[in-house]
Structure 1
Amino acid sequence: MLEFLSQFTDIIFPAVYILFFIGTLGVLALAHWGVARQVWLAGFFATLIAVTLVGMPLLPVVEMHKFAQPSDEEETYYEIRVVDAAGNEIELDDRATPPMTGTRTSTVAGEMANDYTDEERLELGGFYLEAIQEYRGMIEAGGPPAYERLQPPRYVDDHQWTADELEDYEEFEAIHIYERTVIYTDDNTAVASNEERHRVTIDVANETVTEPEQT
């Protein structure tokens, strides 16, 4: 079904998006007519059930379907790791750099690895380290304010720093960018291989950028 529908996504996506708002305006105009509200709700839930069944995100109910999208056979991600004065690495807790979280972090890291000049890398690396040091201080002082702890769950698979964990690290001075290539099995149910490659070291303390030789 998905293969068949994919031929018409250029029509389906904008049509659903436009019809949603036209229907909403129609319901507002006919608010006195109870059937209008029932029709609108029926259409909304029918759309929600449809995207759940086919796994296709449609505006404006993007991410409301219950199942993840099938992955491509091969996907590439970029990771940022923070490095202390002794050379120890720790995976970035991107709570330190909102709103660059999850896939945004991967996108920015990829641009730093592939597109940015060394000057741009140092500038953005400085931004990261400044934000990271401030966030680290907050964690070591007891954690985020109480109101931040009431935020809804994050829908990303990430690593949150703790004060005990940070005790093992000296002052952060650099960041490493890694390129990770994940290959899935043909039926998309398991990871066939997961390889990483160190792409860039941005040493903000020494104002140097190096790209390790690839073997």
Structure 2
Amino acid sequence: MSSLNKNLLPQRVLLKVSGEALLGKKGYGIDFDVVNAIIEDIASVIRLGVEVCVVIGGGNIFRGLNAAGEGIDRVKGDYAGMLATVINAVVLNSVFQRYHIKSRVMSAIALPQVAETYVRDKALVYLNNKEVIIFAAGTGNPYFTTDTGAALRAVETHCDFMLKGTQVDGVYNSDPKKNPDAKRYDVLTYTEALSMGLNVMDATALSLARENNLPIIVFDVHQKGNFLKVVQGQGTFTKVVV
């Protein structure tokens, strides 16, 4: 897989964005100023010739794990969360098209009226044709997060690395918004991230990335132009590797 440096661009990357990242200044739903900014950053990366896939969470609409805490059946709650990711994916797809970027939604759950059902071989054809694919509905199974779904799709589609867009500029040993002395890591190993319980992504996603040597890049998705900088090996981020 390609290194993240200033002289070697990746061929293909996967961008994972949480549903909460779409909230912006709103308490619920989608802030289109945020969506437009993210799409513009993705467009700048596409112009470099890099192929891009996207996984979006659904936490701005519904979180299955939270629902389970309120007595909702966990499996049904998780499926509701998957449907929330489809809503976000359909919106993103519409905005991509408004920017004249070829894109399509592929869902792990069959919803033919709004998305294609995910088939790996088709996804590879679309990516080779320079289309953006928005992978929706996670893995299609309860008990798995969209982080795990993102790692799985990145491995399946031979991405050079997976970028996780968050609200801070990397991985810290504690919440930097609450602790001004929090330490940011430039580089971590998968084992360190797992053993220290750092907030990179869930253990299943990290293990899958480690087993398949998929580098994970954690960066601040809300800083305009950051996605482009990070893909070019610039800016501030945390890299998780072997």
**Which TM-score bucket, shorter chain as reference?**
under 0.3
Larger Rg: 1
The structure carrying a bigger helix percent of its residues is: 1
TM-score, normalised relative to structure 2: 0.20
TM-score, normalised relative to structure 1: 0.22
